[in-house]
Amino acid sequence: MSEKLAIHGGKPIRETPLPYGRHWVEEEDIQAVVNVLRSDWITMGPKIDEFEQSVCCYTGAQYAVAVSSGTAALHGAMFGLGIKPGDEVITTAMTFVATANAILYLGGTPVFADIDPKTGNIDPNEIEKKVTPKTKAIIPVHYAGLPCDMAALREIANRYNVRIVEDAAHALGAEYRLDNKWYKVGECAHSDMATFSFHPVKHITTGEGGMILLNDKVLEEKTRRIRMHGVSLDIRKRLDKESIWLYEMVDLGYNYRISDFQCALGISQLKKLNRFLKRRVEIAERYYSAFQEVEELSLPNPSSSLAAVNKHAWHLYVIQLQLDKLKGTRENIYFALRAENIWPQVHYIPVHLHPYYQKRLGYKKGDFPVAESFYERILSLPLYPKMSDEDVDDVVEGVTKVINYYRKR
Ligand SMILES: *Cc1c(COP(=O)(O)O)cnc(C)c1O
């Protein structure tokens, strides 16, 4: 016996749609922005340094470069490493297009590696198969907020002398344990750089924004230049002149600046990050306990063996449909949930399947079978700190209602 689905004309679980992610901006955040808007500096002022310092302090990295988006941060990381035509950079097929596009911006070649179907993270064994003498770097993505196997990645990077840039857009606040010590994602203890995004669906927001974290002074100077047209001010020091018109353009950079009022929002949001993370964990735990008995679903388990060596940041709660036990496809279930006003999302269409990547780089369906079959089965359930317990209950009810209808047995 199952209830009539909203998609068949039944009553939806809730009146208003619940998106998969959303920001949480409170009164003090708004005040912080307004204060900057009333000040003399709305861009290129002191809040940028202050935000960079706050994120360094939070992660433990030495240097930070705040930029206009997470995509600009990835571009900056590739720029900092000096990626050029002919260079190959290995990344995961299961990511947002921005990760691989950053390689293309410098004329480099994105080389994809398949994933571990349990976690959605890049599979280190697959990376190893893709290394060539042209490989310059690896960009792992901490999918959904679960850190990649940094010990395995570091070992590969050392062996082949390549760099690691973590796309940590999902993983602000995540940690991993290695040799009895906890490391924060963004600390760059086992990588050369890490990048964050402050888009509204991410852990904290600046509207649009991003940041590059790193520990190497030389790399930092080059990376920072992407933000302001490749301009260097070293000439002032060299000539010992404080003449403020003096600057030299030494690289082809961009305008990737972020404004002071955005950084003020970021500083204010960062103060709430631990509260936000705690709420994300709570919601993930509620989903797991609600669905663990449902045979038609495979779920991330917040207290699996992975939890002993990882603090998951729960950017996404990605369920995998056991399609052999269901009458419908992922698409059927997606639309049925949407009609109930539960709006899940799919993260991600494997990058190599996008027309641009197929036409321009020669990738085709079948190249990354694990990522492709993962893609067919996944749905990201609504998960963001501002969700109330009632919202979470609605998701549980909606998913239960829809799965009851589509189950075979
Ligand atoms: C959000 C995201 C980006 C891009 O960040 P923007 O701030 O939107 O440019 C890159 N990679 C991953 C994995 C992301 O989730």
Confirm or reject: Cβ of 140 under 6 Å from ligand 1.
Answer: no
Read off the tokens for 224: 């920072």
C-alpha span between 300 and 3 (Å, rounded): 27
Which of 142, 196, 199 has most ligand 1 atoms within 8 Å of its beta carbon, as the pocket-test mutant?
A: 199
Query: What is the number of other CB atoms lying within 10 angstroms of the CB of residue 133?
Result: 6
User: Quick one: pLDDT at residue 1?
Assistant: 52
Confirm or reject: Cβ of 199 under 6 Å from ligand 1.
Answer: yes
What is the secondary structure of 36-94 as a DSSP string?
Answer: HHTSS-SBSSHHHHHHHHHHHHHH--SEEEEES-HHHHHHHHHHHHT--TT-EEEEESS
C-alpha span between 318 and 301 (Å, rounded): 11
Query: What is the number of other CB atoms lying within 10 angstroms of the CB of residue 157?
Result: 21
Q: What is the CATH topology of the domain spanning 6-10+273-406?
A: Aspartate Aminotransferase, domain 1 (3.90.1150)
Q: Using CA positions, which residue lies closest to atom 7 of ligand 1?
A: 70
Confirm or reject: Cβ of 210 under 6 Å from ligand 1.
Answer: yes
Output the CA 197–ligand 1 centroid distance in Å: 6
Please report how many Cα atoms fall inside a 13 Å half-sphere around the Cα of residue 318, on the Cβ side. 24
Output the CA 8–ligand 1 centroid distance in Å: 36
* Ligand 1, atom nearest to 98 Cα: 10
Output the CA 376–ligand 1 centroid distance in Å: 22
What is the secondary structure of 188-247 as a DSSP string?
Answer: -SSSSEEEEE--TTSSS--SS-EEEEES-HHHHHHHHGGGBTTEE-HHHHHTT---TT--
Query: What is the number of other CB atoms lying within 10 angstroms of the CB of residue 279?
Result: 18
C-alpha span between 387 and 403 (Å, rounded): 22
What is the chain's alpha carbon radius of gyration, rounded to the nearest angstrom? 22
Q: Using CA positions, which residue lies closest to atom 3 of ligand 1?
A: 70
Which of 68, 75, 197, 202 has most ligand 1 atoms within 8 Å of its beta carbon, as the pocket-test mutant?
A: 197
List pLDDT tens digits, range 191-200: 999 999 999 9
CB-CB contact of 343 with 16 (8 Å): no
pLDDT tens across the length of the chain (409 residues):
568 999 999 999 999 999 999 999 999 999 999 999 999 999 999 999 999 999 999 999 999 999 999 999 999 999 999 999 999 999 999 999 999 999 999 999 999 999 999 999 999 999 999 999 999 999 999 999 999 999 999 999 999 999 999 999 999 999 999 999 999 999 999 999 999 999 999 999 999 999 999 999 999 999 999 999 999 988 887 887 777 788 999 999 999 999 999 999 999 999 999 999 999 999 999 999 999 999 999 999 999 999 999 999 999 999 999 999 999 999 999 999 999 999 999 999 999 999 999 999 999 999 999 999 999 999 999 999 999 999 999 999 999 999 999 999 7
Ramachandran angles phi, psi of 215, nearest 5°? -120, 0
The strand pair at 248-249 and 231-232 is best described as antiparallel
- CB contact set of 238 (below 8 Å; sequence gap of 6+): none
Confirm or reject: Cβ of 194 under 6 Å from ligand 1.
Answer: no
C-alpha span between 329 and 406 (Å, rounded): 9
Confirm or reject: Cβ of 316 under 6 Å from ligand 1.
Answer: no
Confirm or reject: Cβ of 141 under 6 Å from ligand 1.
Answer: yes
H or E segment at 298?
A: strand 297-298
Confirm or reject: Cβ of 98 under 6 Å from ligand 1.
Answer: yes
Report the predicted TM-score, pTM, of the whole model to 2 decimal places: 0.97
Greatest pairwise CA separation for the chain in angstroms: 83
CATH architecture of 27-270: 3-Layer(aba) Sandwich (3.40)
Query: What is the number of other CB atoms lying within 10 angstroms of the CB of residue 190?
Result: 20
Residue located via tokens 């002022």 = 45
Same fold, 6-10+273-406 and 27-270: no
Domain ranges of the chain: 6-10+273-406, 27-270
Read off the tokens for 305: 């063996």
Catalytic residues: 202
